[in-house]
Amino acid sequence: MSYKRKILLFLIILNSSLLIPHSLFFLPHSSFLYAQTEPNTAPKQLPFQQQAQPPVSEQQLAMQFFQARHYEKALELYEKLYREQPSSFYYMYYLQCLIELKEYKRAEKLIKELRKSDPRATKYMVDLGYLYSREGNGEKARKLYEEAMKELGPNQQQVFNLANAFLLKGENSYAIEVYLKGRELLRGTYPFSFELANIYQRTGNFQGMFEEYLNLLEVNESYLKTVQDRLQNILIDDSENAKNEQFREALLTRVQRYPDNPVYADLLWWYSIQQKDFELALIQSKALDRRRQEQGDRILQLAQLAVANEQYGVALDAFTYLTGKGEAFPYYDISRVEWVNTRFLQVTSHGTPSPKELTDLEKEFFKVLERVGENRTSVSLMQNLAHLEAFYLSNPETAQELLYRAIDLKDIGPKEKAFCKLELGDILLFFGDVWEATLLYQQVYQDFKYDVLGQTAKFKNTKLSFYIGEFGWAKAQADILKAATDKLIANDALALSILIGENYDPDSTTIGLFIYSRADLLSFKNQDREALQLLDSIPLLFGYHPLLDDVLLKKANIYMKLGEYNVADSLFHEITTDYPDEVTADRALFLRAGLQEKEMNESTTAMELYARLLDRYPSSIYVIDARKRYRMLRGDTTNK
């Protein structure tokens, strides 16, 4: 086949398959258009025919006309449909078309005919009243509405029907009156609280809505979960925090008014956790625990949530309360273990601990360990104590011995062993045994390749390579870890990859990057002052260097670790001001916002910084977390 013939055939195929006029999609099958010379082999339908839309029904067409406000055309169809099938659906649209076209006499005749055939159906009185209202006769409409209300009896379905009739006509206030009267007539057998709450929500009366949900719980406590779900959806959309304040006041009033009603206490406990007000939640937890003689499950759950949210003071208070129940209490030992672990986090996470804090903590560790013994329950205790001994008290032999014993325990699982190996690897690296450290990291990675634990081990090995100057290998591993499932590991790997990529060239000097990596290692070993001296040497040696923004960021992180928050804040500010286009800028802005929020208690400044990050760096990896923190500070309720 010649080239021209191939081109011609291609154009014919293209035209027939892709350029079919839109109008042909609605043509019926035609033997004239599509003659089938081989009926046994040809398909029953061509592809475009299979996609053809079915003809539009009269009902669909009527709805299209109505929605487009072509009431004349809609009326013609709905009148025909209603005469053929006099359903309430067709009646509703037929009537509305008549009213919109100001065919008031025809509309009145239609309503009266139906009312005559079913005099007990009060909804027709509402329709007639609405018609009079549209005519401009409000007084006549009001009388009909009140007459319909008078005919209401102690019948739940009748109440629903009349209220819905008012709602369809936009008469929300009359619908509320119907439900309130229905509540009286039914004498509390059904309170219509959900229905009233929905109307209040729709009309913006959130105070009334909250009161109805609280009323419902007073009648039936089994609705607690349903009410919580509805409240969560409502309170999460509260940019000005007004709804949350209204609900909080209404709930606290109920708790004070009905102190013996446990459902309000349960709701307040739930709401406090939603708002991350762990102090209030603990007060409620203790009250419920005493009143109901609970076994501590609620308080233990709260303590664990508080630890996860770094509310260590609240968690310590909760664990102290549980241990105060005595040694016979089921959660006594676990509470003592978790108290020490939480105290460890509190002491080591903020600033530089004092020698007394460290020695007191060490004594408490050994005291609890002696009581509970070395077993699965105390593995976390042994791991944290080992960290304390190695990184803060310079007792590497004690630390390593603890971890070797933990790893050898027979009743612990593979993951618990792996965590101990990672801690042991960190300690060996801390004291310069690089080879043994990398072997332990590699063991954990091989055992948990497809788990976050394995990714953590791989990143630790990557950092180890960076510390000792193997920059090419470290970057290659960091590039792999950029796709890690764990967000923190992925972010850290990305930052490390960029750091090396921007400052490492095998064919040129890498002294600056080597000095930086040594300073990073010193900081890991808690030799922070020495690390700062090394970092300060980089601008002194080189003047300008591409690492300078990274140096500032590292120094800021070290000063945060030392508890010198004002210095850290100024360094973060310097990065965002002098290096706004560098890859460190968004990270510095995010960290500064967190510093202002958590350590300096400047929530307004923190909100401004989060908002600035969202505005200036919309593609930043910190955008999602920044938006969450911003909304939290603004007062929004969050799903957790």
C-alpha distances out from residue 315 to 278, 348, 363, Å: 9, 16, 20
Q: What does the pLDDT read at residue 48?
A: 43
Q: What does the pLDDT read at residue 201?
A: 93
- Residue 434 CA from chain centroid, whole number: 40
- Quote the CA–CA distance of 301 and 320 in Å, as a whole number: 14
Higher model confidence: residue 424 or residue 117?
424
E strands of 556-627, at which residues?
none
Place of tokens 């996860």: 308
Question: How many C-alpha atoms does 403 have within 13 Å on its Cβ side?
Answer: 27
Q: What does the pLDDT read at residue 418?
A: 95
Q: What does the pLDDT read at residue 349?
A: 85
Residue 243: pLDDT band with limits 50, 70, 90: confident
Q: By three-state DSSP, how is residue 466 classified? A: helix
Q: Tens of pLDDT along 314-343? A: 999 999 999 999 998 989 999 999 999 999
Is the pLDDT confidence value at 35 over 50? no
- Determine phi and psi for 470, rounding to 5 degrees: -90, 70
Residue 4: pLDDT band with limits 50, 70, 90: very low
Is the pLDDT confidence value at 22 over 50? no
- Quote the CA–CA distance of 403 and 291 in Å, as a whole number: 43
Q: What does the pLDDT read at residue 568?
A: 94
Name the token pair of 88.
């309430």
- Quote the CA–CA distance of 303 and 298 in Å, as a whole number: 9
Contact call for residues 511 and 454 (beta carbons, < 8 A):
no
Q: Is 544 exposed, middle or buried (0-12, 13-18, 19+ CB in 10 A)?
A: exposed
**Residue 225: how many other CB atoms lie within 10 Å:** 9
Helices (H), 151-296: 156-168, 172-185, 193-203, 206-219, 224-235, 242-257, 262-274, 278-292
Annotate 604-635 with b (16+ C-beta within 10 A) or e (fewer).
Answer: ebbbebbbbbbeebeebbbbebbeebbbbbeb
Rg from Cα positions in the chain = 36
Q: What does the pLDDT read at residue 17?
A: 37
- Quote the CA–CA distance of 325 and 331 in Å, as a whole number: 9
Nearest CA to 626 among 598, 595, 599, 594?
594
**Residue 132: how many other CB atoms lie within 10 Å:** 19
Name the token pair of 586.
């968004």
- Quote the CA–CA distance of 224 and 640 in Å, as a whole number: 18
Q: What does the pLDDT read at residue 407?
A: 94
Is the pLDDT confidence value at 21 over 50? no
C-alpha distances out from residue 62 to 81, 374, 638, Å: 9, 78, 44
Residue 122: pLDDT band with limits 50, 70, 90: confident
Is the pLDDT confidence value at 23 over 50? no
Q: Tens of pLDDT along 51-105? A: 555 677 888 998 999 999 999 999 999 899 989 998 889 999 989 999 999 998 9
Higher model confidence: residue 125 or residue 30?
125
Contact call for residues 302 and 278 (beta carbons, < 8 A):
yes
Name the token pair of 130.
């609405």
Helices (H), 324-375: 332-348, 355-372
Is the pLDDT confidence value at 5 over 90? no
Q: What does the pLDDT read at residue 219?
A: 86
Q: What does the pLDDT read at residue 487?
A: 85
Single-letter residue type at 535: L
Percent of the chain's residues with pLDDT above 90: 62
Name the token pair of 171.
């008469």
Average pLDDT of the chain is 86
- Determine phi and psi for 94, rounding to 5 degrees: -60, -45
Tell me the average pLDDT across 500-524. 85
Is the pLDDT confidence value at 210 over 90? yes
- Quote the CA–CA distance of 592 and 602 in Å, as a whole number: 11
- Determine phi and psi for 311, rounding to 5 degrees: -95, 70
Q: What does the pLDDT read at residue 628?
A: 86
Residue 636: pLDDT band with limits 50, 70, 90: low
Q: What does the pLDDT read at residue 187?
A: 86
**What region, left, alpha or beta, does residue 326 occupy, with left being phi > 0 and alpha being psi -120 to 50 degrees?**
left
Residue 46: pLDDT band with limits 50, 70, 90: very low
Please state which of the ranges 2-16, 97-111, 237-251, 387-401 shows the lowest mean pLDDT.
2-16
Contact call for residues 403 and 420 (beta carbons, < 8 A):
yes
- Quote the CA–CA distance of 616 and 620 in Å, as a whole number: 9
Residue 544: pLDDT band with limits 50, 70, 90: confident
Q: Tens of pLDDT along 582-600? A: 889 999 999 999 999 988 8
DSSP letter at 482 equals: T
Q: What does the pLDDT read at residue 453?
A: 94
Contact call for residues 49 and 26 (beta carbons, < 8 A):
no
Rounded to 10°, the helix 414-430/434-447 angle is 160
Contact call for residues 493 and 485 (beta carbons, < 8 A):
no
- Structural element, H or E, at residue 36: none
Name the token pair of 216.
């419902």
- Quote the CA–CA distance of 90 and 112 in Å, as a whole number: 16
Question: How many C-alpha atoms does 588 have within 13 Å on its Cβ side?
Answer: 27
Contact call for residues 638 and 632 (beta carbons, < 8 A):
yes
Please state which of the ranges 1-15, 144-158, 173-187, 287-301 shows the lowest mean pLDDT.
1-15
In the chain, DSSP finds a helix count (H) and a strand count (E) of 34, 0
Name the token pair of 35.
């003659």
